[in-house]
Structure 1
């Protein structure tokens, strides 16, 4: 009887753990981008992307990306990018500073770093929109750290600073 209770308890615990990691679609969140990001890409759910190619994260993220900042190693060419700050787009509208609150995604890369020149060249050469360029150009670069930070209209954030994340400055 004890073994049956133990096995049943482990089964229930494993189902609960699996259910918590279940992907929730944007439609299941009633097209609420805040709920969608919170449900799928915050807390422990975002940790699975660390030390993985950016493309794995990009494949799981249903919204369009919009690059809103970068942290470069040097202003000299090739302007290696240690981290990017991206927002997202839903129903053709970018969620930048016009719609609050919103989540902003910070992604830090391992070396070798991507370059801004490489990103711009990729976008122009392939004649792709910004979302596609972000997904494809950064796709093979390995994520060192990633975090979504909630921003509010009064300038408050869920973290102390918005312009500096992990001691990286963003333009």
Structure 2
């Protein structure tokens, strides 16, 4: 009976675990990369690391930005001093495919590859039941580097309660198990 109770406790903690966590590399040269389907109503934490060089390794000068579109070092590419130190929404008078509201080089997201929003380095978002796409907001394809995107489901308060109850039941079952005494003769 106690074995069955322990199994139910462990099952309740397993059910309460986050839905998924996955890591994707988003290339600045690609049009968009799938970040997975976000379940409707489920909250997700999206964290992004990495740096892209918007002028590429083959061209002299650097233009390294993080996923927020902010330079990580002084921009040394000729003619782009206006990007120092906070980045810019336009380059050469143009904005990227994500629009003029998102900085050049930033990581943008879209559920339909048309209406973009800033993912940046950290975003808490509620899923819509659709596939989320990530895209580097840039006007050229001469970039290098990549962003690594981690998408993790955030447990809801009911899930936290279920996990706590499950852990409590496991502790109770462990505490009340019979003691075994070993005697040597």
What's the TM-score once normalised by structure 1's chain length?
0.31
Structure scoring higher RCO (CA < 8 A, sep ≥ 6) equals: 2
What's the TM-score once normalised by structure 2's chain length?
0.30
